[in-house]
Structure 1
């Protein structure tokens, strides 16, 4: 059971240049953030700079039988945090990530199981983050999350994620 004000132990970094095992990362995430157990995340995969979750709608239903906006918003924010955290881990950097700003646009109702895809807002975002970390020991990256129900884009979110300085 998590305690208020007590940080959860970090997951050890993967071996140099290695990738995180998605199942192991999700298991750690469920322990670190208890709410994750109830989000309906069924799978996670990375493809280049894109991080994708497959989710069941059942835990996020609203009173109308569609996706609840608050749950979907929490999922987009957390997926962005995971993108930044996993990017740092691939680069051998152990730092805290926080969401600094987030916004959403709801475009269509979510009526079934869905997928969320997170990518950098700009192609050079990861390179700029890497430069800032090297120069200042901290940095920021803008990420976009898109929720698809089938081929329908239902939600588009944007977030600025800050990498805090060491210490």
Structure 2
């Protein structure tokens, strides 16, 4: 068990220009953020600027037998954090990312296993973030997350993620 206020060790960066192994990253994430082990994440995948998870509903059930809103909101926030963290890691940067603002709109009940996807709100968002990091050493990016249960869009979320200046 970790002590409160003590950061978890960072995962070593992938080889120059390389990608993180999704299984290794999720295993590290489960150690760094213990709640992750309870979220039912089955698989992580990247397609271009889109990061997605496949999730099991069972660990996220509410009293009505559908998806618990608090759990789903946590998942959208965490997936955005993962998107920003992995984006930085592909560029050889080990930096702290925090969520600055997040909103969710619940559109339909989640009634089965589901997928969650995250992508930049604006197509030019990653380029703007890269420029801001080069210029100021820190920056922000707006990301959107969508939760799909089959063909049904059940949740739309948006978050602003801040990349903090390098630790001294």
For residues 146 and 70 of structure 1, what CA distance do their matches in structure 2 show?
15
Deviating beyond 3 angstroms after TM superposition, the runs of 4 or more aligned structure 1 residues are none
| Cα displacement (A) at 1:2 | 1.8
Equivalent residue number for residue 75 of structure 1: 75
Equivalent residue number for residue 142 of structure 2: 142
Q: 3-state DSSP class of the match of 2:65?
A: coil
For residues 57 and 4 of structure 1, what CA distance do their matches in structure 2 show?
30
For residues 6 and 106 of structure 2, what CA distance do their matches in structure 1 show?
35
Could you state the TM-score of these two structures normalised by the residue count of structure 1?
0.99
For residues 3 and 127 of structure 2, what CA distance do their matches in structure 1 show?
36
| Cα displacement (A) at 1:124 | 0.1
Question: What is the Cα-based RMSD across aligned positions, in Å?
Answer: 0.4
Equivalent residue number for residue 26 of structure 2: 26
Equivalent residue number for residue 97 of structure 1: 97
Unaligned residue ranges in structure 2 (runs of 5+): none
Q: 3-state DSSP class of the match of 2:102?
A: strand
Equivalent residue number for residue 41 of structure 1: 41
For residues 166 and 27 of structure 2, what CA distance do their matches in structure 1 show?
25
Unaligned residue ranges in structure 1 (runs of 5+): none
Equivalent residue number for residue 116 of structure 1: 116
Q: 3-state DSSP class of the match of 2:78?
A: helix
Equivalent residue number for residue 166 of structure 2: 166
Deviations along 1:122-141, one digit per CA (max 9) or x if unpaired, are 00000000000000000000
For this pair of structures, how many residues does the alignment match? 167
Matched, 1:86 2:86: yes
| Cα displacement (A) at 1:11 | 0.2
Equivalent residue number for residue 4 of structure 2: 4
